[in-house]
Homo-oligomer: A and B are copies of this chain.
Amino acid sequence: MRHARLPASEEIALEDVFHALSDPFRLEVVRRLATEGEQSCQALEGDRPKSSVSHHFRVLREAGLIRTRNEGVTRMNALRRDDIEQRFPGLLACVVPQPKE
């Protein structure tokens, strides 16, 4: 993999996180990763072209919200739950529909 630009937990910037989450598509992606666990890109693309989906995943990745790993021919995207929680405690809880406890 060539472009792995993945900020370390301490490097995650609040402005970047907010910017990433200010787009409805990206916000929905984060919510689904949170509730459904890791997903391929195409599992979350709506009717968008691949290049647009790829762009949004990149924004999420560079903001530090998700991590991507290869699995065969697909790439699985996972929310960096612990890293985000450690850096900005409580933030994810505002974003994600609360699971019953």
Residues of A within 8 A of B (CB): 14-16, 18-19, 21-24, 27, 88-91, 93-95
Hey, which chain B residues are within 8 Å of A15, CB to CB? 21-24, 27
Q: Interface residues of A: mostly helix, strand, loop or mixed?
A: helix
How often does this chain occur in the complex, in copies? Answer: 2
Cα A27 to Cα B91 in complex, Å, equals 15
Q: Tell me the complex Cα distance, A93–B14, Å.
A: 12
Q: Tell which of B22, B91, B94 touches A19, judged by Cβ atoms closer than 8 Å.
A: B22
The smallest beta-carbon distance between A91 and chain B, in angstroms, is: 5
A14–B88 touching, CB < 8 Å: no
Inter-chain contacts of A90 with B (CB < 8 A): 90-91, 93-94
